[in-house]
Amino acid sequence: MTQTTLGEPMAVEMAKQQRQISVAEFFEKNRHLLGFDNPKKALLTTVKEAVDNSLDACEEAGILPEIKVDVFDMEEDRYRVRIEDNGPGIVKKHIPKVFASLLYGSKFHKLQQSRGQQGIGISASVMYAQLTTGRPVKIKSKIGPDEQAYYFELKIDTEKNKPEIVTEETIEWDKDHGLQIELDLEGTYRKGKRSIDEYIKQTSIVNPHVTLIYTNPRSEQLIFTRAAEQLPREPKEIKPHPDGVELGLLTKMLERTNTRTLTGFLQEEFTRVGRGTAEDICENATLRSDRVPSRMKRKHAEQLLKGIQQTDIMNPPTDCISPIGEELLEKGMRKEVNAEFYCTVTRKPEVYRGYPFQIEVGIAYGGEQSKDSTVNVLRYANRVPLLYQKGACAFTQTAGDVNWKTYGLDQSGNNVPRGPATIVVHMASPWVPFTSESKEAIAHYDEILDEVKLAMQQAGRKLQKYTKKKTRIKKEKKKRNMIEQYLPHVAVGLKELLDLTSAEEKEIVEKLEAVLQEDRGELEDIEFDPDANPEYDEEFAKIGREDDESD
């Protein structure tokens, strides 16, 4: 049956149904890919996308962020989310596309670290709101004290992935500059794990330059005041690094360059390639250094790629990445966990697929943490906490692959270890590879897995020193107890053997004890002091731990 009843080939009939699908239609149908698979997550995702955008915009404009987050319960499973920032605002012309068109943004083609990267997030929230309540998004924007403020109500035409302007007007807004976004959507609010409350708290841990004023649907206000008046170092935009560049990208770059020689091309289009390195690459590729890049064929591009792979090239510059830093990471952890021992590791930047990235790991050990539960792994990407899809994340997998027994934690097989510890992992990069558009878990690239493992092992060795010392002291104490216990019996024995007086016996015991003590040295105290950590904030630590254990 390869013919229809009309005698036409089946392929002709089947061809009639072929058509282009808009990216908005695609994500409308596949909205779980964007973090909207259930009402609780939908609410969190919406808050997260808006706050992340506000933080990015403020930092890019050099403004210390102050962000108000209000979530109102509108009853019947509907919530109103309103986020207001003191950022630079958005120029009128761009507002519709930024909020009501998917894959529209400024960060996709830039090699610069930021929270948002693909121009999907907030438009997806607008689409979800529209889908569940039929209501448009409401935007206020003002870009400077002497500028007009604008008000928009927007919907998305999903078939065309284009904005539909419902209302557009000028308004008075008593504010120098900033942005406000308001959305009505179906959702579920719960406290506890993976809640908005927890997301806000974890954001404040690694973003001490931010003030967050959050009012939850129960009308409880939580204020996280900034602890630092300094913005993080502004990450610089960089060119691609030759390591990890692929044939496809290289070919495209060769076609498009304005440079006239191969060495010029290498120096101009890549980071970390000077005259010398460029010539080394050409030599390793057996290509003349004065070849015209745009006239090179595929086989030459292949040769060039091999040449690059055979040449030692300096690691990418670190100024395109803004890590949290060992000190700040420890400070954040101290606030959250009351432990005995803290250590942090910030690795040097590395490269995957031409993108630089940097891994940081912190461990908080002992103290008030339970000995019998799985270690708590807190995951961050570009200072954004990752709350969902733990199991799918490269960080979690690597936490299982490290041999933690060596470092003093319990572990069965390749599972996340058990014991009184919290492990924080942070990846900073101009391009973080997430396992889905909802940006909840890091994809399993070998280069990233390796770096995370090394960072964990490095932190693990610091931990090991502490746990070993602790074990040694424990053993020592046991021995001393034994000595103290048996010494009187030894004394009695000696007294009888040597026929000593009670005074002589006492003297001998004292001498023996002194010798033994001297031998073993001073016993340093390593007991946990719950009040030793001035950073620890009990109330703060509690947020996101109460009420709810459900997904």
Q: Which is nearer to its own copies, 255 or 484 (CB)?
A: 255
Measuring CA to CA, which residue among 175, 194, 151 is closest to residue 66? 175
Tokens of 475: 């053993």
Site for its own copies contains 492 (CB under 8 A): no
Site for its own copies contains 106 (CB under 8 A): yes
Site for its own copies contains 167 (CB under 8 A): no
What does the H/E/C string look like for 278-302? Answer: HHHHHHHCCCCCCCCHHHCCHHHHH
- What mask, x for binding its own copies by CB under 8 A, covers residues 176 to 205? xx----------------------------
CB of 332: closest distance to its own copies in angstroms? Answer: 26
The count of chain residues that interact with its own copies, using the rule CB under 8 A, is: 82
Q: Which is nearer to its own copies, 226 or 444 (CB)?
A: 444
Stretch that binds its own copies, among 220-228, 270-278, 297-305, 498-506 (CB under 8 A): 297-305
Site for its own copies contains 249 (CB under 8 A): yes
Tokens of 38: 């259930």
- What mask, x for binding its own copies by CB under 8 A, covers residues 16 to 55? -xxxxxxx-xx-xxx-xx---xx-----------------
Whole-angstrom Cα distance, residue 91 to residue 285? 48
Which of 51, 67, 139, 143 binds its own copies (CB under 8 A)? It is 143
268-287 residues in contact with its own copies (CB under 8 A) are none
Which of 51, 301, 361, 386 binds its own copies (CB under 8 A)? It is 301
Stretch that binds its own copies, among 65-73, 130-138, 261-269, 470-478 (CB under 8 A): 130-138
Site for its own copies contains 302 (CB under 8 A): yes
Residue 455, SS3 per DSSP: helix
- What mask, x for binding its own copies by CB under 8 A, covers residues 52 to 91? -----x--xxxx------------------------xxxx
Please report the beta strands in 281-406, taking only residues with DSSP state E, as ranges in sequence order: 341-346, 350-352, 355-365, 376-381, 384-386
Distance separating the N- and C-terminal Cα atoms of the chain? 49
Site for its own copies contains 309 (CB under 8 A): no
> What's the one-letter identity of residue 366?
G
Site for its own copies contains 413 (CB under 8 A): no
Q: Which is nearer to its own copies, 443 or 483 (CB)?
A: 443
Which of 5, 75, 109, 503 binds its own copies (CB under 8 A)? It is 109
- What mask, x for binding its own copies by CB under 8 A, covers residues 325 to 354? ------------------------------
Stretch that binds its own copies, among 384-392, 403-411, 493-501, 533-541 (CB under 8 A): 384-392
Measuring CA to CA, which residue among 346, 313, 311 is closest to residue 239? 313
Q: Which is nearer to its own copies, 37 or 73 (CB)?
A: 37
Q: What angle do CA 205, 49, 446 make, to 5 degrees?
A: 75
Buried b / exposed e over 295-323, threshold 16 CB at 10 Å, is ebeeebbebbbebbeebebeebebebbbb
Site for its own copies contains 105 (CB under 8 A): yes
Beta bridge partners of 67: 85, 212
| Token pair 């909020």: residue | 99
Site for its own copies contains 14 (CB under 8 A): yes
Stretch that binds its own copies, among 133-141, 324-332, 457-465, 497-505 (CB under 8 A): 133-141
Whole-angstrom Cα distance, residue 280 to residue 283? 5
Residues 6+ apart with CB under 8 A from 465: none
Q: Which is nearer to its own copies, 3 or 258 (CB)?
A: 3
Measuring CA to CA, which residue among 310, 311, 344 is closest to residue 329? 344
CB of 109: closest distance to its own copies in angstroms? Answer: 7
Residues 6+ apart with CB under 8 A from 489: none
Whole-angstrom Cα distance, residue 181 to residue 41? 19
The arrangement of strands across the sheet holding 178-186 comes to 162-171, 149-157, 137-142, 178-186, 78-85, 66-73, 211-215, 221-224
Q: Which is nearer to its own copies, 250 or 463 (CB)?
A: 250
Site for its own copies contains 389 (CB under 8 A): yes
Site for its own copies contains 509 (CB under 8 A): no
| Token pair 């690239």: residue | 445
Measuring CA to CA, which residue among 486, 483, 25, 429 is closest to residue 235? 429
Per-residue DSSP letters for 138-152? EEEEE-STTSPEEEE
Q: Which is nearer to its own copies, 132 or 289 (CB)?
A: 132
Which of 165, 228, 247, 532 binds its own copies (CB under 8 A)? It is 247
Whole-angstrom Cα distance, residue 444 to residue 414? 16
CB of 93: closest distance to its own copies in angstroms? Answer: 7
CB of 491: closest distance to its own copies in angstroms? Answer: 53
Stretch that binds its own copies, among 244-252, 321-329, 363-371, 456-464 (CB under 8 A): 244-252
429-468 residues in contact with its own copies (CB under 8 A) are 431, 433-437, 443-446
